Structure 1
Amino acid sequence: MKFSDKIARQSPFFTFEFFPPRTDQGFDNLAARISRLATLHPLGVSITWGAGGSTKERSLELATLTQDQCGLDTILHLTCTNAQLGSIDAILKDAKERGIQNILALRGDPPRGQEEWIPSDPRFTHAIDLVRHIRKSYGDYFCIGVAAYPDGHPDHLIDEGRELDCLKAKVDAGADFIVTQLFYDVEAFFLWLKKVRQKNINVPIIPGIMPIQTYASFQRLTKLTGAKVPDRIQEELNPISHDDRLVKDFGVNLAVDMIQRLVTGGEVSGVHFCTLNLEKSVQRILEDLQWTHAPNRSPNRLISDAPLPPVSSSAEPDRVVTPITAARDATQTLTSMPTTNNEPGRIDFDNVATWDDFPNGRFGDFKSPAFGANDLWGNSGSISHEMLREWRNPKTVAELTQLFLDHLDGKISTTPFSPTPLYPESLIILPELRRLTERGWWTVGSQPAVDGVSSSDEIFGWGPKAGYVFQKGFVEFFCEEKDVAMLEKRVQDHGNGLVHFFAGNYKGEFSTNVPEDCRNAITWGVFPGQEIIQTTIIEQESFLSWKEDAYSIWSDWASCYHPESEERKLLEEVRDRRWLININHHDYRNPQALWDFIFSDGDGLVDGPK
């Protein structure tokens, strides 16, 4: 059914947004998660489209599942990035054959390196081009939505007046409804809405609501989207930023307050939840709003009423280019721990609802539906002109080494792999990180060992109060192939079973000493009245998935420069030749165990010629 027709019949209403998980296990578990959320009777669900169509097959598969097996009217995202006429027509034809009648038409993020970008098809450079083509090709069959930005377009070169003109043009071209980017300032939204209506834009506008899940993800996403945060919200968050449970509770209460104000303002009939494939917060919000009962709606047909479609276990995870939220020094951790499941891949569905209570960066549980969570529209943030200037256009390996050192020293605020300055815990191991980087081993992730620190600790704490948190030391860096060979031999000769590593390169070569049936939980917490919570896990599946992203970052960075430039040649050579390696030491009680292993005297491994 057309989404615009359903909006006219139901008030208040809500919709959910999901993205295709990277892994087969995550996909299966998202199906179960959606079945639970379907009992709340959303008016519809939307399925994101990875940057450049990188999740095409999984997006269509997930949309079919929600449309056919869940009985939920589905809105399929579609972007212009890397799109051509033939591919767009094929997707629209496929969507129609699957019974999908709703499309969210988006420009999507252009490939990084906007100076050199030439659209794959000049007929599709903006969302309005998609809207026009869909209307021309399919008439009124599809209900079309478009995006809007109450806090301003992420491309700061587009001012509000121009953005409103573009929004008006998209509606005049045939858009039926508008979904907004996330925001947190309700009063500013109403002022923006008034300006929209003054432009004679009269289609339904659905506010995008993203409940705050963790303080770190809140900071990242507001920076990425340009969302303005009222001082009151920031002031209330700062004192509890280290307590993930309190942050999550605050996020629920804030969302409830925002939605109540929105729907009582007279203009808003419903909201769009950006779930990031998480369920508990949105469920709590809807319960607090008393929106969980839908007496006038017929029950949705749930996944449990029919078998799930088979998912090929041999399929490789789709690469989704996402913001690397944890590609930073001092972020995550590892334990070698055999799986407790009776069968590989078998999941205890009684427990999956509690997954992701404390999402912790890129290394979560690869079986989780939220593993590698991406941003609102399923796209990645672009490398800006300001970033390129800060990174000083490196032309030599020595200049790259200096760039990573400058980030460690706080002289620059970001690298392509670390979107923020160093975190406080990184400073504890800063001498070791500098020593590695000076050697030419460019660190992109690390974590000091921690043995039972209070969960309220300002640096290491997370989760409920009166608990204790633990970390195993690890470090991750790019190095040359000969270095990988030396490290492998060192692990074999001197690791004593306490050191595990994963190593891979752009060509797809891979090496590890971690047994296939082991999972490496590297951050965990012990809290009163709860089971042990493992927030960070590194195993083969998660490492390989992150590795794909890591090498795509080199490609994206290289694409910012002319094909014949020294910068591009250097970055592509680094991408093609260097290996990504992750080393973890399981002696978490000794904070120097990892570094003593790496820096031990006698082999010249680290402190040799630079």
Structure 2
Amino acid sequence: MKIGDILRKGVFSVSFEFFPPKNEEGEKQLFETIKELRELKPTFVSVTYGAGGSTRDRTRNVVRRIHEEIGLNVMAHLTCIAHTREELLDILKDYKDIGIDNILALRGDVPHDRPDFRPPEGACRYAVELVRLIRDRFKDYFSVGVASYPEGHPESPNMEWEIRYFKEKVEAGAEFSITQMFFENTYYYEFIELCHKADINIPVIPGIMPITNFKQIRKFASMCGATIPQFLIEKMEPVENDPEEVAKIGVEFAIRQCEDLLRNGAPGLHFYTLNRSKATLQIYSAIRELIPVKDLYA
């Protein structure tokens, strides 16, 4: 079912993000996680796409298995910067042929192992161009989502620039957005206010990253420009080598973050699971009574 249609009905969305594993052991772990999280009846799940198209086949395999074997509503991430338009159209046609109708359209990062990388001739260099390509060739078949950055994309000089280019993606045909992870809700609320002032009215779903490995998330945050609150750093640093204590603090913080977002009208919650279920299950259990209930098929 198309995510845009679901959100237009006013359904509160709970969704989970996975990445394609590198080996059979990782794939087994992933599908155990998916089966556990399936019990929460997510609105949709999504599968990431590696820098430079490096996980093209693995992403497609996981998306297909979730769709055909697990029966969950699934969205495929698709990055465009390293593909020709013909390659992108082949990927999209393949997804259409297997029944996938949700795409997260992304520019994608430059491959870290290719410092001299240049987009191929005629490539979509930005996410807005991919959104336009999808709409031009597939009309309304796909429900198209895009990324948004409450603290600004690392390459953005300011939030005015950020909003201007976000609006271009919406005007090109994006129906909803999922944010980059953030840990201070003020950034999200300020971003939504800027969107409203710019007449951007699509649902913007907060991306939630439970901190279960402080060193790892701190690295992620520094790469994407997400601010970890100083008080949380001070709680985490003394126990960063104690996985259980880090996870306990991280889950408690994520619960409070989600409760605040729920009370302030967020249209959904998108959990970055890192292919594990425990933290997400704990958070969901703590907030489930606050989640608005509306019949998807009403």
Q: Which interval holds the TM-score relative to the shorter structure?
A: over 0.9
Distance 1:10 1:22 in 2: 37
Task: Assess, with a 3 A threshold, how the Cα gap between structure 1 residues 115 and 250 changes in structure 2: closer, same or farther.
Answer: closer
2:131 equivalent in structure 1? 131
8 Å CA contact 2:205, 2:269 repeated in 1: yes
> Partner amino acid for 2:190?
L
State the Cα deviation string for residues 427-475 of structure 1 (Å, max 9, x = none).
xxxxxxxxxxxxxxxxxxxxxxxxxxxxxxxxxxxxxxxxxxxxxxxxx
The Cα shift of 1:115 comes to 8.1
The Cα shift of 1:114 comes to 8.9
8 Å CA contact 1:252, 1:284 repeated in 2: yes
> Partner amino acid for 2:133?
H
The Cα shift of 1:290 comes to 2.0
CA RMSD across the alignment: 2.1
Distance 2:68 2:293 in 1: 20
Match of 1:275 among 247, 250, 273: 273
Distance 1:59 1:202 in 2: 30
> Partner amino acid for 2:124?
F
8 Å CA contact 1:81, 1:111 repeated in 2: no
Distance 2:258 2:147 in 1: 19
Distance 1:113 1:52 in 2: 10
Q: Secondary structure at the match of 1:273?
A: strand
TM-score normalized by structure 2? 0.93
2:250 equivalent in structure 1? 251
Task: Assess, with a 3 A threshold, how the Cα gap between structure 1 residues 236 and 25 changes in structure 2: closer, same or farther.
Answer: closer
Higher relative contact order structure (alpha carbons within 8 Å, sequence separation ≥ 6): 2
1:385 equivalent in structure 2? none
> Partner amino acid for 1:128?
V
Task: Assess, with a 3 A threshold, how the Cα gap between structure 1 residues 293 and 152 changes in structure 2: closer, same or farther.
Answer: closer
> Partner amino acid for 1:276?
L
State the Cα deviation string for residues 65-124 of structure 1 (Å, max 9, x = none).
111222211110001131001111110000001110000000001245998543113341
1:150 equivalent in structure 2? 150
State the Cα deviation string for residues 576-595 of structure 1 (Å, max 9, x = none).
xxxxxxxxxxxxxxxxxxxx
- 1:293-442, aligned counterparts within 5 Å? 296=295
The Cα shift of 1:293 comes to 11
Distance 2:230 2:118 in 1: 41
2:97 equivalent in structure 1? 97
8 Å CA contact 1:12, 1:263 repeated in 2: no
The Cα shift of 1:4 comes to 1.1
> Partner amino acid for 1:252?
V
Q: Secondary structure at the match of 1:259?
A: helix
Distance 1:7 1:297 in 2: 9
2:214 equivalent in structure 1? 215
Aligned sequence identity (%):
36
Q: Secondary structure at the match of 2:199?
A: coil
State the Cα deviation string for residues 521-558 of structure 1 (Å, max 9, x = none).
xxxxxxxxxxxxxxxxxxxxxxxxxxxxxxxxxxxxxx
Q: Secondary structure at the match of 2:75?
A: strand
The Cα shift of 1:237 comes to 2.1
2:51 equivalent in structure 1? 51
8 Å CA contact 1:40, 1:293 repeated in 2: no
1:288 equivalent in structure 2? 286
After the TM superposition, list the runs of 4 or more consecutive aligned residues in structure 1 that deviate by more than 6 angstroms: 292-295
Q: Secondary structure at the match of 2:270?
A: strand
The Cα shift of 1:158 comes to 3.3
The Cα shift of 1:297 comes to 6.6
> Partner amino acid for 2:196?
R
Which consecutive residues of structure 1, in runs of 5 or more, have no partner in the other structure? 299-610
> Partner amino acid for 2:269?
V
> Partner amino acid for 2:27?
F
8 Å CA contact 2:11, 2:296 repeated in 1: no
Which consecutive residues of structure 2, in runs of 5 or more, have no partner in the other structure? none
Q: Secondary structure at the match of 1:277?
A: coil
The Cα shift of 1:242 comes to 3.1
> Partner amino acid for 2:251?
V
- Indicate the structure with greater helix content: 2
Q: Secondary structure at the match of 2:25?
A: helix
1:82 equivalent in structure 2? 82
Distance 1:112 1:23 in 2: 21
Distance 1:128 1:192 in 2: 19
Q: Secondary structure at the match of 2:177?
A: strand
Distance 2:18 2:113 in 1: 28
The Cα shift of 1:53 comes to 1.1
